[in-house]
C-alpha cells in the first residue's frame, strides 16, 4: 500500500473522528462566498497547485501501466525485448523524477497558500480581538480564544491544502484507475472491490469509538493544561507555597496525567487497529487479484503484465475510495473551521473611528460630561457562547451604571471621584479614554466629543495609571517604549527620574534591558507603579487619569508613588479616582458618586462640614484606620499651572 493510500486512510480516520461534531454544526449563510473572497489573493497559486496535483495523479496511474508492459516484454521475449524493457524502465525513471519535482512543487505551493492564509486569518482575528470591548475579555475563556487563533485557523487553512488537493487528487486518481482497471479486466476489478464494504462498515464503528476517546483525551488535556497554567502562574505558585500543598498538587496532577496516559494507550490501539484493518483488506484484495488474475493469465485470457498492473493499481484504488466516502465530512470540517473564525470576526468592535473623525487640539485639558448615562452591554452584544463555554448567552440588559452625570474639569484642575464600591467611579474614567462609549449623553475632551475624535489623538491626549498597572514580560525599555515607540534612551532615563525610580533601574545589572518578569512581578508594587508612571511621563499626555493608583501600597511605597505622581501631574489636568480620601483632600473639586449619580460636589472642607455621604465615608475610614495607621499624612500637591508641561 503506497504513501498516498496511507495519507488517504489517515484523512478518512480524521473525518470519522470529526463527523458527529461537524454534521451537527449549522453553517452561517454566505460562509462559502466569504471563503472564496478570502482565497482571491491566492487564486493563481491555487491553480498551479491543482495542476501539480492532477499531473501527480496521472503519473500515479501511468507507472503501474508501464510496469505491466515491462512484465509483458520480459515474458514475451523476442530480439527486441531487452531494448523495450530498457526504454520502459527509463520512462518509469523519468516519471519518478518528474513525480519527485511535482511533489516538491506541490509542497511549496501548499505551504505558500496555507501559511499565507494562516497569516491573513491570524492577523485579522488578532487585530479584531484587540478592538473588542473590555467586557469581551472579562467574559471570554482565554484558552477558547487562543484556540480560534490556532486550531480553527489551521483547520481553515486545510481547506485550501489537504482537503482541496485530496478531493481533486482522489477524484482524478479514482476515475483514471477505475477506467484503466475495467478496461484491462472487469472481472478482476469487480472481485477486488467486493472487499471494500468489509472495511468501511467496521471502520466507521471503530471510528465512532475512537472519536469518543479523542474527545475525552482533549478534555483531559485541557484540564491538565489548565492546572499547569494556574499553578505555574506567579500568583498560583505563591498560593501553593503559602498553603504548603506541593505534595497534594503533585498527586492531583499525577492522577490527571495518568488518565491522559491511559487514554493515549487506548487511542493508539484503536488507531493502529484501523490502519491494520486497512492494510489487511487491501492485502486480501491483492491476493484475490493475484489468484483470479493468475488463473486468467494461465488460461491465456489476460497477460501476466496485466495482472501486475491490476495489482499495483489496486493499491491506488482503495485509498481514494475510502477517502471520498467521507469527502462531505472533510469539506464540512474545513467550512466549520472558517465559520468559527468568521464568528469572531463578525463580533462588533466596541470602539470604532468615524471616517470623518477630527483630532483633539494639541495640549487640550478640558474634560466635560454632559448628562452621561451608561450601561454595560449584555453578553449577547459582546461575546460568543462557544467562547464562554455556555449553551446560550444572556440577553438581559444590565442595570444602568451611570444615570445623568454632569461635571467639568477645567485645564490644570485636579478633580477627584470618590464614593462607595460600585458607585461608577472607574466606569466614569473609562468613558474619558473611550474604553467604552456612553449609552446616552456625551463626553468631551478639548471641546470634541470623544466619539468624533481620532483614536490616535485621544490616546495621545490621555494617560492612565491604574491600581494594578500591567507590565509585559519584556525589558523595562520595551515596556516604556509601549507609550512612545520612538523614545530615545535619554528620554527614558528622564521619565524614570521624574517617576522617582531611575536610581533603582541604574542599580540593576542590566539596567533598562532588565526583563520585568510576568506582570512585572520581579518588582514590588510601588516600584511597578513608578515604572508605570514613567511610561505615562514618556507619553506626555495633557490629561492624566489615576484610578486608585496607590490603593494597594504600604505607607513607604505610597509616599514614593505620591512623589512620582507630583511630577506626573504638574501642569496637567487630573481626574483622580480614590478610595483613600486622604489622598484627594487638596483636589480643586471632589465629586461624590453613589449608585451612578453625583450626590455631592465641592472641596474637602465643604463636604466634611456638610455632613453628607462624603463626611460619613471620611469618618468611617479614619475610625477604622487611626488606631493602627495615621492616614492624615501630608500629601504632596502642586498648584495647577505652576510648572509648564
Q: Is the CB of residue 400 less than 8 Å from the CB of residue 593?
A: no
Taking residues 4-17, report their average pLDDT: 46
**Contact, 308 vs 71, CB < 8 A?**
yes
CATH of 3-345, one of 3.40.50.300, 3.90.1150.10, 1.10.10.10, 1.20.1560.10: 1.20.1560.10
Q: State the Cα–Cα distance between residues 537 and 384, nearest whole angstrom.
A: 38
Entry pTM: 0.68
Q: How many helices (H) and strands (E) does the chain have?
A: 25, 10
Domain with CATH 1.20.1560.10 in the chain: 3-345
Q: Is the pLDDT of residue 352 over 70?
A: yes
> In the predicted model, is pLDDT for residue 198 greater than 50?
yes
Looking at per-residue pLDDT, the higher value among 628 and 538 belongs to 538
Residue 169: the pLDDT is 79
Average pLDDT, the chain: 78
Does CATH number 3.30.465.10 belong to domain 367-378+398-625?
Answer: no
Give ranges for CATH 3.40.50.300 in the chain: 367-378+398-625
- Express each pLDDT in 552-608 by its tens digit: 666 666 677 777 777 777 888 888 888 777 778 888 899 999 988 999 999 988 888
167 closest CA partner among 327, 385, 339, 310: 327
Over residues 337-349, the pLDDT tens digits come to 787 788 888 888 8
Strand 589-594 vs strand 414-418: parallel, antiparallel, or unpaired? parallel
Predicted confidence (pLDDT) at residue 389 exceeds the cutoff of 70:
no
Please report where in the chains the cell 475512537 appears, as a residue: 210
Query: Among positive and negative, which fits the CA dihedral 253, 259, 262, 264?
Result: negative
**Residue 236 pLDDT exceeds 50:** yes
Query: Would you state the pLDDT for residue 386?
Result: 67
What percent of the chain has a predicted confidence (pLDDT) above 90?
A: 9
Helix (H) or strand (E) holding 462: strand 462-466
pLDDT at residue number 441: 93
pLDDT for 371 equals 93
Of the ranges 76-90, 279-293, 392-406, 487-501, the best mean pLDDT one = 487-501
Instruction: Decide the pairing of beta strands 440-445 and 367-374.
Output: antiparallel
Between 584 and 161, residue with greater pLDDT:
584
**How far, in Å, CA of 199 to CA of 321, rounded?**
11
Phi first, then psi: what are they for 178, rounded to 5°? -60, -40
For 501-556, how does the pLDDT look when each residue is reduced to its tens digit (9 = 90+)? 888 889 888 888 888 876 666 777 778 888 888 888 888 888 988 887 766 666 66
Lowest model confidence (mean pLDDT) among 33-37, 158-162, 396-400, 597-601: 158-162
Provide the pairing of β-strand 367-374 with 462-466: unpaired
Angstrom distance (rounded) from CA 463 to CA 467 = 14
Taking 90 as the threshold, does the pLDDT of residue 101 lie above it? yes
CA distances from 137 to 133, 198, 614 (A): 7, 51, 34
Answer whether 425's CB lies under 8 Å from 577's CB: yes
**pLDDT tier at 636 (50, 70, 90 boundaries)?**
very low
User: What distance in Å separates the CA atoms of residue 335 and residue 92, rounded to the nearest whole number?
Assistant: 39
Spell out the long-range contacts of 386-392 with Cβ–Cβ below 8 A and sequence spacing 24 or more: 386/144, 386/340, 386/343, 387/139, 387/140, 387/141, 387/144, 387/145, 387/148, 387/344, 388/139, 388/140, 388/141, 388/144, 389/141, 389/144
Which of 511, 615, 473, 153 is closest to 344 using CA atoms? 153
Is 449's pLDDT higher than 90? yes
Residue 581 CA: distances (Å) to CA of 543, 547, 590, 639: 21, 13, 10, 19
| Dihedral of alpha carbons 146, 149, 150, 155, sign | positive
8 A C-beta contact, residue 2 and residue 316:
yes
Amino acid at each position: 500500500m503506497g504513501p498516498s493510500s496511507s495519507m488517504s486512510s489517515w484523512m478518512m480516520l480524521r473525518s470519522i473522528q470529526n463527523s458527529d461534531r461537524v454534521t451537527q454544526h449549522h453553517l452561517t449563510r454566505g460562509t462559502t462566498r466569504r471563503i472564496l473572497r478570502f482565497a482571491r489573493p491566492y487564486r493563481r497559486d491555487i491553480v498551479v497547485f491543482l495542476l501539480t496535483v492532477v499531473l501527480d495523479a496521472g503519473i500515479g496511474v501511468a507507472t503501474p501501466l508501464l510496469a505491466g508492459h515491462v512484465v509483458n516484454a520480459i515474458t514475451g521475449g523476442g530480439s527486441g525485448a531487452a531494448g523495450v524493457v530498457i526504454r520502459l524502465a527509463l520512462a518509469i525513471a523519468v516519471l519518478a523524477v518528474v513525480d519527485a519535482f511535482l511533489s516538491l512543487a506541490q509542497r511549496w505551493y501548499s505551504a505558500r497558500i496555507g501559511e499565507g492564509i494562516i497569516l491573513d486569518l491570524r492577523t485579522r482575528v488578532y487585530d479584531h480581538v484587540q478592538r473588542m470591548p473590555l467586557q469581551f475579555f472579562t467574559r471570554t475563556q482565554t484558552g477558547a480564544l487562543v484556540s480560534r487563533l490556532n486550531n480553527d485557523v489551521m483547520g481553515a487553512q486545510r481547506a485550501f491544502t489537504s482537503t482541496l488537493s485530496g478531493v481533486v487528487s482522489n477524484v482524478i486518481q479514482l476515475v483514471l484507475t477505475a477506467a484503466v482497471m475495467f478496461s484491462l479486466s472487469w472481472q478482476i476489478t469487480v472481485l477486488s472491490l467486493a472487499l471494500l464494504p468489509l472495511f468501511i462498515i467496521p471502520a466507521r464503528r471503530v471510528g465512532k469509538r475512537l472519536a469518543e476517546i479523542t474527545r475525552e483525551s482533549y478534555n483531559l488535556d485541557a484540564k491538565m493544561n489548565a492546572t499547569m497554567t494556574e499553578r505555574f502562574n506567579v500568583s498560583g505558585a505563591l498560593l501553593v507555597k503559602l498553603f504548603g500543598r506541593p505534595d497534594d498538587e503533585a498527586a492531583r496532577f499525577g492522577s490527571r496525567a495518568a488518565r491522559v496516559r491511559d487514554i493515549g494507550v487506548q487511542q493508539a490501539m484503536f488507531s493502529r487497529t484501523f490502519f491494520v484493518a486497512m492494510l489487511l483488506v487491501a492485502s486480501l484484495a491483492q491476493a484475490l487479484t493475484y489468484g483470479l488474475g493468475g488463473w486468467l493469465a494461465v488460461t491465456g485470457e489476460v497477460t501476466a503484465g496485466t495482472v501486475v498492473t491490476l495489482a499495483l493499481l489496486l493499491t491506488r484504488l482503495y485509498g481514494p475510495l475510502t477517502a471520498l466516502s467521507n469527502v462531505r465530512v472533510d469539506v464540512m470540517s474545513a467550512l466549520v473551521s472558517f465559520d468559527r473564525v468568521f464568528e469572531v470576526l463578525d463580533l462588533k468592535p466596541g470602539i470604532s473611528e468615524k471616517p470623518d473623525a477630527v483630532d483633539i487640539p494639541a495640549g487640550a485639558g478640558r474634560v466635560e460630561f454632559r448628562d452621561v448615562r451608561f450601561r454595560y452591554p449584555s453578553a449577547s452584544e459582546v461575546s460568543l457562547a462557544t467562547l464562554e463555554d455556555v449553551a446560550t448567552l444572556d440577553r438581559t440588559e444590565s442595570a444602568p451604571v451611570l444615570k445623568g452625570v454632569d461635571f467639568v474639569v477645567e485645564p490644570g484642575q485636579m478633580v477627584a471621584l470618590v464614593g462607595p464600591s460600585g458607585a461608577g467611579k472607574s466606569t466614569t474614567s473609562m468613558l474619558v479614554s473611550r474604553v467604552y462609549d456612553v449609552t446616552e449623553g456625551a463626553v468631551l475632551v478639548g471641546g470634541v466629543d470623544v466619539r468624533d475624535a481620532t483614536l490616535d489623538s485621544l490616546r495621545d491626549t490621555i494617560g492612565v495609571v491604574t491600581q494594578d498597572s500591567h507590565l509585559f514580560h519584556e525589558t523595562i525599555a520595551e515596556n516604556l517604549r509601549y507609550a512612545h515607540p520612538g523614545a530615545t534612551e535619554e528620554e527614558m532615563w528622564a521619565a524614570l527620574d521624574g517617576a522617582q525610580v531611575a536610581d533603582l533601574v541604574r542599580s540593576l545589572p542590566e539596567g533598562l534591558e532588565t526583563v520585568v518578569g510576568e506582570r512585572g512581578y520581579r518588582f514590588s508594587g510601588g516600584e511597578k507603579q513608578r515604572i508605570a508612571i514613567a511610561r505615562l511621563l514618556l507619553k506626555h499626555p495633557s490629561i492624566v487619569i489615576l484610578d486608585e493608583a496607590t490603593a494597594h501600597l504600604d505607607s513607604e511605597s505610597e509616599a514614593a508613588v505620591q512623589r512620582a505622581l507630583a511630577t506626573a501631574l504638574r501642569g496637567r489636568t487630573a481626574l483622580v479616582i480614590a478610595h483613600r480620601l486622604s489622598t484627594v483632600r487638596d483636589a480643586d473639586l471632589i465629586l461624590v458618586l453613589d449608585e451612578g449619580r453625583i450626590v455631592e460636589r465641592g472641596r474637602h472642607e465643604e463636604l466634611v462640614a456638610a455632613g453628607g455621604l462624603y463626611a460619613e465615608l471620611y469618618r468611617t475610614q479614619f475610625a477604622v484606620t487611626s488606631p493602627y495607621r495615621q492616614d492624615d499624612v501630608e500629601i504632596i500637591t502642586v498648584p495647577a499651572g505652576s510648572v509648564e508641561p
